[in-house]
């Protein structure tokens, strides 16, 4: 298997739904003021790692929250805010009918299904949604297509899928890993680190 190129991964900045603990999935919720600050911070952290940032391709989820994060991050370091490419495969996991609810609300409304999810977060499929395993299979061809160092601006679920694909970490570890906003997740040589 060929070595994968280094990948710089940025999760979108905070949204009001993030702050409220609501499942966003594929609902297009904009980033809030804190999220805009985080986007600029992620851009500056990335520039400190890679001063020639403008030479790298930037691939971005089609969601508004990721596009705005990319634009603010690029603008914060003097790059053309629009200098990125949208890739549909980087779209967030779908939580289906559960989107818009908090986990507390899901547990109250559908306790049996919530318990099933807790038993196997990676493979559980919410009503009309997708599992992390399904998301990973959607992301795999994108990751395999990368031929050079790349910046990706995407979502927490996508980060978890990439963690499994790059590092081989267990499904349980990936499903519960913290995915930070305002930082850069660097994947390199079969490992990852936060900057």
**Full-prediction pTM beyond 0.85?**
yes
Quick: pLDDT tens for 30-49.
999 999 999 999 999 999 99
Query: What CATH number should be reported for the domain whose range is 7-194?
Result: 3.40.50.1240
Quick: pLDDT tens for 147-181.
999 999 999 999 999 999 999 999 999 999 999 99
Strand boundaries in the chain, DSSP class E: 7-11, 58-60, 85-86, 150-154, 185-188, 191-194
Residues with a known catalytic role: 12, 92
Q: How do the domains of the chain map onto residue ranges? A: 7-194
- Residue 49 has a CB neighbour count (10 Å cut-off) of 12
């Amino acid at each position: 298997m060929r070595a994968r190129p280094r990948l710089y991964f940025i999760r979108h900045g905070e949204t009001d739904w993030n702050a409220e603990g609501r499942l966003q999935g594929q609902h297009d919720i904009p980033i809030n003021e804190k999220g805009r600050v985080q986007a600029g911070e992620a851009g500056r952290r990335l520039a400190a790692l890679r001063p020639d940032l403008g030479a790298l391709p930037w691939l971005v989820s089609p969601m508004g929250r990721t596009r705005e994060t990319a634009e603010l991050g690029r603008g914060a370091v003097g790059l053309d805010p629009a200098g990125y490419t949208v890739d549909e495969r980087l779209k967030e996991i779908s939580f289906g009918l559960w989107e818009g609810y908090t986990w507390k609300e899901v547990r109250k409304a559908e306790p049996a299904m919530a318990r099933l999810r807790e038993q196997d977060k990676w493979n559980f499929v919410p009503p009309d949604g997708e599992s992390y395993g399904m998301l990973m299979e959607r992301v795999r061809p994108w990751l395999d297509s990368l031929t050079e160092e790349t910046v990706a601006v995407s979502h927490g679920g996508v980060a978890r899928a990439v963690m499994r694909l790059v590092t081989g970490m267990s499904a349980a570890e990936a499903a519960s890993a913290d995915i930070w906003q305002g930082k850069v997740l660097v994947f390199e040589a079969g490992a990852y680190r936060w900057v």
